[in-house]
C-alpha cells in the first residue's frame, strides 16, 4: 500500500496521470490468477475442515468475462491445483475441454451464474452437519453471528418435487435452473438428501459461508438437543452481523490459507 501511494505521489509530482487511468478496460490476467488461487485455497480449506470430502466444488465467475466461470476438472477438492482449473460458459460447456473429465454437477454453478448476476462464486458441498436439515422439518437458522447470512433464509430444494425419483444429482441445466430459482436472492440453499450450495460476491465469501453453514448446522443441532426454545439471531441482527463479517473476512482467510499451505492434503 505504501509503495502504491509512493508511485501515485511520484506520478502526480511528475505531472503524469496515474498508470491506472491509462490501463485498458479489460481485467488483467493477474486478476484471474488471484481468483484461481482463491479457488485452489478455498477447496483445500473446505477439505481440511471436513466440509467436503472427495466430492464438492468451488467455482468463480471470470472477473474479465461475466459469461464464463472457472472451475476445476473433476477432482477431489483437496487435490485441486491451478493447472486443474478450466473455463466454462453459462450453459455448462467447457470452453477448452482437452479431454479432461468434467464435474457432472457443474450445472449447479452455470445456472446460478445465469440467474444471479451479483454472484461471483458458488460452492457446493455434501456438508455432514447440514444434511439433517435437508430432510427434517426444522429450518436451518443462525445460532451465532458468524452464520449471520442465514438470517435472510436458507430454503430447502427438493429435486423430487419437479423431477420425480432421480439419482439426486444436478446433472443438467433444467435441474440446475430449478435449484437456482429456489436459491432466489439468498446466500445458501439446502438440497434435500444431498447437501447445500452457498454463494457470494467473492470466492472467499462463498467459502466462508460454506464453512459456517456447516458449523451453524452442527451448533443448531446441539441447541435443539438441549430442548426448549432456541433463541436465534433475528433478521435485523443477521443483516448487521453479516456486514461486519464481510469486512473482517480476510483475517480468517489468511489464517486458513497458512494452515492449509502447511498441512498435508487429505
Ligand atoms: Mn453433489
Question: SS3 for 189?
Answer: strand
DSSP SS3 for 86:
strand
CA angle 138, 189, 173 (to 5 degrees): 135
Q: Kindly give the distance from the C-alpha atom of residue 168 to the centroid of ligand 1, in angstroms, as a whole number.
A: 8
If we measure between CA atoms, which residue out of 78, 75, 23 comes closest to residue 86?
75
Distance from the CA of 171 to the center of ligand 1, in angstroms? 10
Whether 4 shows a pLDDT value over 80: the answer reads: no
If you measure from the C-alpha of residue 106 to the centroid of ligand 1, how many angstroms do you get, rounded to a whole number?
Answer: 10
What CA–CA distance (Å, rounded) separates 150 from 165? Answer: 29
Region 121-132 average pLDDT: 97
Prediction pTM value: 0.88
Distance linking the first and last C-alpha atoms of the chain: 36
pLDDT, average across residues 89-101 = 95
Q: Which residue has the higher pLDDT, 144 or 264?
A: 144
Average per-residue pLDDT in the chain?
90
Tens digits of residue pLDDT in 127-169? 999 999 999 999 999 999 999 999 999 999 999 999 999 999 9
How large is the average pLDDT for residues 46-67? 96
- Tally the C-alpha atoms within 13 A of residue 33's C-alpha that lie toward its C-beta: 3
Mean pLDDT (whole number) for 81-88:
96
Q: CA–CA separation, 5 vs 3, rounded Å?
A: 5
pLDDT in tens, 200-235: 999 999 999 999 999 999 999 999 999 999 999 999
CA of 45 to the centre of ligand 1 (A): 18
Cell of 79: 487435490
Q: How far is the CA of 73 from the centre of ligand 1 (A)?
A: 15
Q: Where are the domains of the chain?
A: 33-260
Catalytic residue positions, numbered = 105
* 244 sits in which H/E element: helix 235-262
How far, in Å, is the centroid of ligand 1 from the Cα of 108? Answer: 9
pLDDT at residue 263 is higher than 80: no
Distance 105 CA to ligand 1 centre (A): 7
CATH architecture of 33-260: 3-Layer(aba) Sandwich (3.40)
Amino acid at each position: 500500500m505504501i509503495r502504491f501511494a509512493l508511485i501515485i505521489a511520484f506520478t502526480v509530482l511528475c505531472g503524469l496521470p496515474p498508470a491506472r487511468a491509462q490501463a485498458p478496460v479489460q481485467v488483467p490476467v493477474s486478476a484471474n490468477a488471484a481468483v484461481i488461487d482463491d479457488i485452489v485455497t478455498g477447496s483445500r480449506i473446505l477439505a481440511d475442515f471436513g466440509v467436503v470430502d472427495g466430492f464438492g466444488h468451488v467455482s468463480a465467475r471470470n472477473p474479465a468475462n461475466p459469461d464464463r466461470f472457472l472451475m476445476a476438472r473433476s477432482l477431489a477438492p483437496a487435490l485441486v491445483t491451478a493447472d486443474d482449473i478450466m473455463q466454462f460458459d453459462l450453459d455448462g460447456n467447457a470452453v477448452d475441454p482437452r479431454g479432461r473429465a468434467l464435474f457432472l454437477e457443474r450445472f449447479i454453478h452455470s445456472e446460478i451464474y445465469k440467474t444471479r448476476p451479483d454472484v461471483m462464486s458458488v460452492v457446493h458441498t455434501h456438508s455432514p452437519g447440514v444434511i439433517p436439515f435437508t430432510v427434517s422439518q426444522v429450518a436451518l437458522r443462525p445460532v451465532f453471528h458468524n452464520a449471520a447470512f442465514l438470517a435472510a433464509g436458507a430454503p430447502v430444494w427438493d429435486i423430487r418435487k419437479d423431477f420425480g425419483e432421480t439419482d439426486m444429482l444436478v446433472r443438467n441445466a433444467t435441474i440446475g435452473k430449478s435449484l437456482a430459482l429456489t436459491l432466489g436472492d439468498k446466500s445458501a440453499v439446502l438440497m434435500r438428501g444431498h447437501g447445500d450450495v452457498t454463494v457470494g460476491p467473492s470466492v472467499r465469501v462463498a467459502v466462508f459461508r460454506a464453512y459456517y453453514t456447516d458449523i451453524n448446522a452442527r451448533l443448531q443441532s446441539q441447541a435443539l438437543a438441549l430442548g426448549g426454545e432456541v433463541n436465534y439471531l433475528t433478521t435485523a441482527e443477521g443483516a448487521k452481523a453479516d456486514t461486519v463479517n464481510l469486512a473482517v473476512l480476510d483475517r480468517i482467510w489468511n489464517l486458513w490459507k497458512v494452515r492449509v499451505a502447511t498441512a498435508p492434503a487429505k
